[in-house]
A and B are shown apart, each in its own frame.
Chain A
Amino acid sequence: MVVFGLWVINKAGGLVYQRNFTDGLAQLTSNEYLVLAGTLHGIHAITSRLSPTGPSSGAQVIEGESFKLTILLTVTGTKFVLLTPLVGTAAESTLQKVYEIYSDTVMKNPFHTPEMPIRIDGFDSRITALLGSGQS
């Protein structure tokens, strides 16, 4: 499936991983990505309190005219965000696979500090195998 980009947001709202997989996306600076991720974190926190029938999972899909943003919230508060075209339905299962790769290569890696940016070769290579290389 086509994937525009992948973000990993830690439980404090900080962007710890960001990667584009398609050419021709709007060029943003890393600061702008950080702001976007922080804003999404806030929006997500609000949407999880909007439900009239008690606690909610918060926003899972945000759709625009030309793209779709699928959010997977883990039990520990880490968010995986996948930017995809509107068509295609495999975003949720792809995010589950990304979560699996994250658990294997990031959380089991003694050289990674939790909540800090992810700079791990094993994670990069397995994400590349899953989503294609694109640009880094």
Chain B
Amino acid sequence: MQQPHSRFSVLSNSSLSSADLLSPTGSSRFSLPSAPSINATLGQTRQRPNIYDRNLNKTRSSEVSASAFAFLFSEIVQYTQKRVSGINDLERRLNILGYRVGMRVLELMTWRAESSSKAPKREIRFLPALMSIHTQVWRAVFGRPADAIEKSVENEDEYMIIDNDPLPERHISVPRDMSQLSCSSFTAGIVEAVLDGLGFPARVTAHNTPTQQYPSRTTILIKLEKSVLEREEIVK
């Protein structure tokens, strides 16, 4: 059976089991009707603007509590870990979750950067796109640029983004029996979504590459699809 691409399974209503587990609809635990009642009690004292009416630029420079994010991410990993059969599966799920974040990051960043310009543009060459991921995307998501970009010497379709101290992993110590696991698969998913959205389909994975100085150093490995390299040759 031809399986639909894994990352679409959570978006479509396909009958894949992962869709059932990850989809908020169809689960009684997400009590959607209760959400407006919270607003109703608040609304009695102060009228809050609808979230859809709020200016998207209002939150451009606001920051989220790193502790709150650490607890949320910890719960995400625990929740996911209960529903997978192995490390590869766990990394794939984290990648899918990151992909959903990345799609929104790209859209929001493009809107913020280009919406006021008379001639909006987007990157069509790979290297500038990679540079903008390394600086702009990292700054938007983690508050600082990544530490390095490298090109693989062995394979010309492989590029690496290196983060010496990845924010999602700052408080995570992976047990020895799972040392293969890199929770930065979530970050890899973000990168994959941004590259996909820019028209550079690729497979993105995360790998631990610790050094003496940076024990949680992580390499985000980008393996571009062949079509991207072929197109790069043409537009050169």
Contacts and interface: CB of A to CB of B under 8 A. Distances in A.
A111 B175 contact: yes
Contacts of B74: 108-110
Contacts of A99: none
Interface in A1-51: none
A17 B92 CA distance: 34
Sorted from nearest, which 4 A-B pairs have the closest CB atoms? A110-B77, A108-B171, A122-B173, A108-B70
Contact of A109 (B67, B76, B81, B172): B172
A122 B75 CA distance: 18
Nearest to B81: A110
B67 A120 contact: no
A105 interface: yes
Centre residue among A108, A109, A121 by max chain B CB count within 10 A: A108
Interface residues of B, number: 17
A62 B76 CA distance: 41
A104 interface: yes
B174 interface: yes
B174 A111 contact: yes
Contact of B78 (A110, A120, A122, A123): A110
B234 interface: no
B231 to A, nearest CB: 40
A114 to B, nearest CB: 11
Contact of A123 (B76, B81, B173): B173
Given A110-B75, A110-B81, A105 B70 contact: no
B171 A111 contact: no
B8 interface: no
B97 to A, nearest CB: 13
B32 interface: no
Contacts of A123: 173
A109 B216 CA distance: 14
A111 B179 CA distance: 12
A117 B175 CA distance: 13
A105 B71 contact: no
A98 B201 CA distance: 46
B178 interface: yes
A122 B172 CA distance: 8
Contacts of A110: 73-78, 81, 172, 183
Given A108-B171, A108-B172, A120-B173, 11 more contacts: A105-B171, A105-B173, A108-B67, A108-B70, A109-B74, A109-B172, A110-B183, A111-B175, A111-B178, A119-B175, A121-B173
Contacts of A121: 173
A105 B74 CA distance: 11
